[in-house]
Amino acid sequence: MRVLGVDPGLTRCGVGVVDGVAGRPLTMAGVGVVRTPADADTAHRLVLIERGIEEWLDTHRPEYVAVERVFSQHNVRTVMGTAQASAVAMLCAARRGLPVALHTPSEVKAAVTGSGRADKAQVGAMVTRLLRLTAPPKPADAADALALAICHIWRAPAVNRLQQARAAARRTPVPVRTLKGTTR
């Protein structure tokens, strides 16, 4: 499975590609950051992010895209930019028919470090270890993108089984009891 992880942001949008399957060693196929100038207007910055993500999709041909789920922050301006960058990543994937998974920051941290409250340094250290890198990817947005991809690879099998079980449960008829206690 090849997954493009996207840590959305208007100034720095982390991107990382990881190959592997749950229970086996993982391999980094690429890591980087799509940057936009802070002084550019938002619309232009979103176009630059779109071009950058499209380039990553063209180059690495992932099967899935994992994006950090935007959560409420105190700074509304920051969360709006993050949400807009996240939407661009989802749009790029949807155009190509690629499945998109959203993972919360705490879910990613727990998957990679064992603690949903891990700090950036701990995430970077575990990404380095899990992918057998010589140093943590810089900036932290790049390491976070790899962590998203790792999280998706490890959690996708369980999520798929859960979705299949839910679908099967919806298809299975529920027995109806009559007044006399017999089942139809």
Q: Is 109 exposed, middle or buried (0-12, 13-18, 19+ CB in 10 A)?
A: buried
Name the catalytic one among 7, 19, 58, 119. Answer: 7
Query: Has 7 been annotated as catalytic?
Result: yes
Minimal CA–CA distance to 48: which of 87, 80, 10, 14? 10
Q: Which of 39, 41, 68, 107 is catalytic?
A: 68
C-alpha 89/C-alpha 82 separation (Å) is 11
Q: Which helix (H) or strand (E) holds 89?
A: helix 76-95
Task: Choose the catalytic residue: 39, 55, 119, 141.
Answer: 141
Phi and psi torsions of 16, nearest 5°: -155, 140
Q: Is 68 a catalytic residue?
A: yes
Strands 12-19 and 27-35: antiparallel
Catalytic residues: 7, 68, 141
